[in-house]
């Protein structure tokens, strides 16, 4: 209960933490089932909050996906949760504007710097191109 008092946990994450602390696997399974029955442990609610919080912080879908996989969330649950956020391109534009200002990058070196920043934050290359206005110029 002390672990859940601090923040929501995914069931796989909480199971791992309890086992690391020396609890028996059978007792851990029983405790998790009881918590799920009382809706104190809810993976769907935790997933929704996790994705919303990370998106508000300006992180993109690729970075959020990696973090969710590290927490033991099944891949089939991640896609729908990310889809609920909405427009990732608009979020990438907002994050770029917040960090670098409203003016579009003037030269390629500045575009590359801003693209690296957005890539680190976990945005796809399409979202990055839309955010910095870097369209390919074909001759």
Neighbours of 42 (CB within 10 A): 16
Fold of 88-132: Arc Repressor Mutant, subunit A (1.10.10)
Task: Inform me whether the pLDDT recorded for 122 exceeds 70.
Answer: yes
Give the residue carrying structure tokens 């979202």: 127
Task: Inform me whether the pLDDT recorded for 51 exceeds 90.
Answer: yes
Note the pLDDT of residue 135.
Answer: 55
Question: What are the sequence ranges of the domains in the chain?
Answer: 2-83, 88-132
Q: What is the spatial distance between Cα 112 and Cα 38, in angstroms, rounded to a whole number? A: 50
From residue 22, give the alpha-carbon distance in Å to each of 6, 16, 18, 27, 31: 20, 10, 7, 11, 14
pLDDT band at 137 (very low <50, low <70, confident <90, very high): very low
pLDDT band at 68 (very low <50, low <70, confident <90, very high): very high
User: What does pTM read for this prediction?
Assistant: 0.79
In this prediction, residues 106-129 reach a mean pLDDT of 93
Task: Inform me whether the pLDDT recorded for 42 exceeds 90.
Answer: no
8-24: pLDDT as tens digits: 888 888 888 888 888 89
């Amino acid at each position: 209960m002390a672990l859940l008092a601090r923040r929501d946990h995914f069931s796989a994450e909480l199971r791992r933490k309890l086992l690391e602390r020396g609890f028996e696997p059978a007792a851990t399974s029983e405790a998790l089932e009881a918590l799920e029955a009382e809706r104190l442990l809810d993976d769907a609610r935790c997933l929704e909050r996790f994705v919303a919080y990370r998106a508000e912080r300006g992180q993109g879908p690729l970075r959020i996906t990696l973090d969710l996989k590290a927490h033991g969330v099944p891949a089939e649950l991640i896609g729908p949760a990310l889809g609920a956020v909405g427009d990732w391109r608009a979020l990438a534009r907002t994050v770029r504007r917040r960090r670098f200002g409203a003016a579009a990058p003037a030269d390629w070196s500045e575009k590359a710097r801003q693209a690296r920043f957005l890539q680190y934050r976990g945005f796809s290359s399409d979202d990055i191109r839309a955010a910095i206005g870097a369209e390919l110029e074909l001759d």
